[in-house]
């Protein structure tokens, strides 16, 4: 099936493992009812490579600098989103934590340890 550019939203995200490889990073959205958990992901900007977008989104959403695994494309998810009336294509990567940084929260976000 072929899609036009206006019918598709391209996103990228990562499943980020700690240095021991025993835990993964999840983002909890407490604004949803009930709260939902997901891996960090977001839109690919024009001209941006999917792997660069995945790392940027991890840092923006979680304050974590990550390194993608060699051959790190873990999968591609395709689904139709009723909310935006577009087909979403998400490139998922496997990655490891390199560094954690202080995260700047948006006005509508809050941090709960």
The helix/strand count (H/E) of the chain reads as 1, 6
C-alpha separations of 107 from 41, 89, 111 in Å? 19, 28, 11
**pTM for the whole thing?**
0.79
Q: Domain segments of the chain: what residues? A: 5-98
Give the rounded percent of residues in the chain with a pLDDT score beyond 90: 48
Coil/strand/helix, residue 73 = strand
For residue range 43-73, what is the model confidence (pLDDT) as tens digits?
999 999 999 999 999 999 999 999 999 888 8
- The whole-number average pLDDT for the span 38-47 is 95
82: DSSP letter? T
- The whole-number average pLDDT for the span 5-21 is 89
Which one of 3.90.79.10, 3.40.50.300, 3.40.50.2300, 3.40.50.10380 gives the CATH number of domain 5-98? Answer: 3.90.79.10
């Amino acid at each position: 099936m072929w899609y036009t550019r206006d019918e598709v939203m391209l996103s990228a995200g990562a499943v980020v493992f700690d240095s021991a490889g025993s835990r993964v990073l999840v983002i909890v959205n407490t604004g949803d009812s009930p709260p939902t958990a997901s891996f960090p992901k977001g839109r690919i900007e024009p001209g941006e490579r999917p792997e660069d977008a995945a790392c940027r989104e991890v840092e923006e959403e979680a304050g974590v600098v990550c390194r993608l695994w060699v051959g790190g494309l873990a999968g591609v998810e395709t689904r139709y989103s009723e909310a935006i009336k577009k087909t979403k294509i998400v490139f998922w990567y496997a990655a490891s934590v390199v560094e954690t940084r202080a995260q700047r929260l948006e006005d509508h976000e809050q941090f709960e340890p």
